Every structure is written in C-alpha cells, then in structure tokens.
Amino acid sequence: MSEAPKVPSDLMPRGVEWGTLALILACYGAWGASVFWLADFSLWTAAMLAAFLIAFHSSLCHEALHGHPFRTKALNEALMALPLNLVIPYGRFRDTHLAHHRDERLTDPYDDPESNFLCPRVWGGLPGWQKLALRANNTLLGRMVLGPLISQVCFMIGDWRLIRAGERQIILDWLLHIAGAVLVVYLVWLSPMPVWVYAVAAYIGLALLKIRTFLEHRAHEETHARTVLVEDRGLLAFLFLNNNLHIVHHMHPGVPWHALPRLYRRNKAAYGAANGGYIYRSYMQVFRHYLLRAKDPVPHPLWQRQR
C-alpha cells in the first residue's frame, strides 16, 4: 500500500484533549499516592504501582511529543517536566523519537536512533562478552532484565560523543533533566519510600516498556512491513496507550492514542496488508514465542544489500 488510509475528521483532535490531560494529572496523582501514602502500608505494592506509573508516564510523554493534549508544544513539555524514570531526558526522547519516525530509515543501525540492530562489521569486531550480552538482549526476558541497562549505557555514550562534537542543545536537555530528576529524588526522599526502592521501581518501569519496544520493528525490504501490529486490548495495551497498534501510529503519528483502535478497526485489512502480515494477536503470544528465544539476529540481516 503506497498511501496510508485517510483519517476521518472525527478521529482528529480539536482543541484541548481533555481525556489525555486528565490521564496525565491522574498519573501524577497516583504516583504521589503510591510514594507518599501506599508506601506506608505496603512498600513493595507501592513500588510495583510506581513502576507501572513510571512506564505509563513514558507513554504519556510519547503522546506529548506528538502534540497532545495541547496544540502548544511548550505546554505539553511543561506537563511532562518531571522525569519519573530518572534517566531519560524528555528533550532527548523527543528528538530521537521524532528522528525515528523517518520510516524509510527504520531499523538502520546508524540512522534510526531506536534501532536494536548493529552493522555486521561492528558486530564482528565486538568481544565475546558483548556479543553474549547482546544476544541475550534479543530475547524478551533478556530485553526486560538487561535491556534498560544496555540501552541506557549506549544512549549516554552516544550523547557524550555528540556533546564533545559541540551539540549544545543536548547539554541543555541533560541539565533540564538533571534538575527535574533531583526534584523527583527529593520528593521521594521526603516520602516513606526509600530512594533505593524507588530506583528499583524505575528500573522495572523501564523493563515494562521493553515489552512494547521488543518487536516494534523488524528488518524488511518494504518500509511499512517493518512495523508491527499487536492486537492486544488488555492492560498492556492501556499501559502503552495503544501504541501496540504500531503501524497505525507510524502511518498517522498525529492521531491521539484513544483514536488508534477505531482507526485500525475501520481499516484493518489495509493495515495488515501494508505491514506484510507482521501481526501478533496479543502480548501473551509474544511472551510464548520469544521469552527465551531471540526474535532477530543482532547484526542487521539486510545491511549488506542496503549498503
């Protein structure tokens, strides 16, 4: 399919998206309740709720960088100013994710900032222990356990190189992030939840997000066929704000989260044809197939044909 299905006017936002704004405020309110109130009664229940909310906050950040709930960029960014996950600057998430939306470059080891593939030449030069870690990272269990650490280390190394090359905006993004992270840590320090427990919750929250990103894209000759559909309607679909319908989001990045299922239902056959049948019925199916088995090789399997 060369063109995306047209989006009906009733699915496009007009003015403030009050439902999304309510979710953002509810997320912060529930986060405060988990850290300041629930932690007094059941520390680890509070930590698990905080982990869920940290992941949910990231999904809301994704909505904000795509222009929701306000039409004004500054208002959306002000709403998401507190980095609940402690480690990912909003500005860097915004810029790298919008670069990722250049669909013709999806999975490119150099041009797609969110690619998990490596250039085969780079892969061949890695020491054995790194290859072992990256192979484990290509199973779903490995992606959840090791993925947050591996991706954060690679992300920070990449940003440090860009900073040394003179990218001043990245310095500003990190300084703003550090200020917000210090505030989050200070709030947690004032609460009954120990800071180290919150750090564990943040790691678990990032691990939950890895379930979504694990198979969002595959190596494929056709651009649209690189992006997945997971037809899940359960708790994880809500946690990810329907971004499991990922080909729909990539073809219509301005459509808000709550409209994605309706848009998919109206054009189900077209999206399935567009992504070459790269479809899973649920995240349970994903777990069954890939919990302990790698979905992809680490070196990009089409790279020699692309270069």
In this prediction, residues 244-251 reach a mean pLDDT of 97
What is the token pair recorded at 192? 């009954």
pLDDT at 196 over 60: yes
- pLDDT (0 to 100) of residue 5: 82
Q: Which pLDDT tens digit goes with each residue over 37-56?
A: 999 999 999 999 999 999 99
Mean pLDDT, the chain, rounded, equals 95
Q: Which pLDDT tens digit goes with each residue over 208-235?
A: 999 999 999 999 999 999 999 999 999 9
Tell me if 231 sits within 8 A of 281, measured CB to CB: yes
pLDDT at 257 over 80: yes
- pLDDT (0 to 100) of residue 1: 45
Closest by Cα among 163, 161, 139 to 150:
139
Q: Which pLDDT tens digit goes with each residue over 130-145?
A: 999 999 999 999 999 9
Domain extents in the chain: 14-298
> If DSSP states are collapsed to H, E and C, what string results for the chain?
CCCCCCCCHHHCCCCCCHHHHHHHHHHHHHHHHHHHHHHHHCHHHHHHHHHHHHHHHHHHHHHHHCCCCCCCHHHHHHHCCCCCCCCCCHHHHHHHHHHHCCHHHCCCCCCCCCCCCECHHHHHCCCHHHHHHHHHHCCHHHHHHCHHHHHHHHHHHHHHHHHHCCCHHHHHHHHHHHHHHHHHHHHHHHCCCCHHHHHHHHHHHHHHHHHHHCCCECCCCCCHHHECEECCCCHHHHHCCCCCCHHHHHHCCCCCHHHHHHHHHHCHHHHHHHCCCCEECCHHHHHHHHCCCCCCCCECCCHHHHC
Does the pTM exceed 0.85? yes
pLDDT confidence band for 304 (50 / 70 / 90): low
In this prediction, residues 171-195 reach a mean pLDDT of 98
